[in-house]
Chain A
Amino acid sequence: MELSAHSINSKAPYKVSQSTNLSFTFTTDNGNVYEVGFLLDEMLLPDGVYQFFIMENSGNPMTKDDKIMMTIVAIMEEFFLNRDVVLDYICDTSDSKQSLRFRLFRKWFANYHNNTIFTFRPLSIEYDSISYYGAVILRKDHPMYDQFMIELEAFEHELADKLR
């Protein structure tokens, strides 16, 4: 899989630069630097599931800026041009703010799409005394949609049972 900065830049308010074939960086008006990207995650399937990452690495204070969301949306739209892919997202737990991060991500996603195109399936798991929050997102016209959703439900139970 490969994503194109050229295509993203035709829609995004901030100009993105490509870091790797699946990662992009952009700088906001107030100097915040964001890295956004994807990496193949083989936990659920051998291929076709990518984990989504977002990181702000300038250390500047965050400010409300709708252009950040619009840029991330443009990157996600490029990712989901392919209807066969699945996105998963696991909130960073390093500062114990994963539940806050998850609520923000869910709100962003709810603002961005309507339920006719995508399914946003939240997931949570307790492991080693840490609460992990995440989600799986896929297009409703994914060729294996029904089977995937049924098996995901079973997988979630298996995770909860075996990692308890």
Chain B
Amino acid sequence: MLRRAIGETMPKIEIAKADLEALVGQEIRPKDLEELLMTAKVELEGVDAATGMLKLDCKDTNRPDLWCVEGIARQLRGSLDREVGAPNYNVTKGKVVVEVDKKVAKVRPLVVGAVIRNLKFNDLAIKQLIQLQEKVALTWGRKRRDAAIGVYDFDKIKAPIRYTTFKDNEIKFIPLESTEQMSPKQILERHPKGKEYGHLIAGSDFPILIDAADNVLSMPPVINSAWTGKVTEQTKNVFVEVTGWDERIVSLALNVVVTALADRGGKIESVTIKSGKSIVTPDLGSSSVTVDPDQIRKFLGLQLSDAEIIKLLERARYDAKPKDEKLVCIWPGYRADVMHVRDIIEDAGILFGYNEMQPDVPRLHTPGGQTIFEEFCVQLKELGIGLGFQEIMTFILTNKENLFRKMESAVLPITEIANPVSANWSAMRSWLTPSVLEFLAKNMHVEYPHRVFEVGDCVMLDERAETRTRTLRQICMVATDTKVGYQDLASVLDALLRNLGIVYKLQSCSCPHYIDGRATEIIACENSIGTLGEIHPQVLNNWGLGKPVTALELSVDALWELVSKKRGAPIPKKHVHKVL
């Protein structure tokens, strides 16, 4: 979890404080701003010194309604008790029809739309609209794949609008940010947006929104036309459409945009989508769930009266109506995140204020403990230090070149990354010695002798394991200096194993990364538990190492097993690994 939680795709937006205050209807003191913004689940990251814009992190990736100044202001009006309950948006029945051609089914099947009239755009409002469009399409619409939003000057459009496909040679239009008539393929090849999003429609049929006068509105989800697809301060009425693949996603995206525009004084008019059956969009209908106020009290750990709970919910922009000792909670159509009573409880908690609650450490008596395996590893590290070695930590990710070729070893099947960021980090290591040699190679300028060790994890393929792999823990110790030899580490090995009470014998072995005749396999209870030897000069050359190196690598899992056996204890499982 945390800062590094996956899904840290949280939108970052900028809004003008004056714009926010105008929409909220009051001034906000700077010292109140941060705490107040929290009620809209946005974090004040900073203020742009040059423009005075507030930089915000929108925390809730499931609440696109809170990714614009209009939505934040809507919540803040509730938080400040200026306007409470679920906002009500009127949708007037409009005449505009979008005719959907069957041909779009395989290309980009869904479209929804609305007309917003009576708008007065200023520069800030236009910027907010563009920002909202972009952020919703990026995060909510998964980089425009699931939803992309188009906004057009409605007065330049002649209804009905058609949503259909064209072949490359059948159509040309001037895309936004260009002055040149281009075919769909030319846009994909030459226009910056075409290059960025072209892969979403890279077939032979291109989805096109076109009006009754054969003016192209856009080629979703890539680019609008320069003629209709631009909103200026002169624009009075707009047509908004959302295309995509997922009904829930496109509908919510449309609702978020139209309610934001409505909050700026726009009047929402519906559009009829004709695709076999007719549907009317936007659908701003509300939803509801019944909540037991006791559950809210118990869950938050707060003594609240029903009236207080209702007030909190209303300030969180729900309607909350008592019914048979319970509350019916109603939320508006721009939200699709409420899946569980918990979602409502959280909103009540936020409006109460997390910093207003008294933290209460639960008195749970549980004995603490670390896995004895981890404890064993700490002991091993202590021995390593006692023998005069510096502990190091290296990455588990590496590459086949390091694991095999530089070690003069045959390439074996290992765990490989399908989508590496860099070829350097394209596999998970199966042994530790290469990582430690790599470390030595980076430190040739540092005063010798070098004696370093790592106790680290590696991953080995295992067909029988649930994850087809096993996590191994290994220890690797190396010594390098102008003069260093087999005997130096043989003594270290002996000290290490003697201190663990492990009886062992050595058996000459032949490993390609060691010098022949100067390598040994370490045997305990008839099993090989590791190797020790002088690194082969060819391997030293491969790593660019200039001084002799002696290394040992042991399986910590095997050591652990031997130590446990000796104690007569059952071998405790290191990880939860269900074998098939």
The yes or no verdict on A and B being binding partners is no
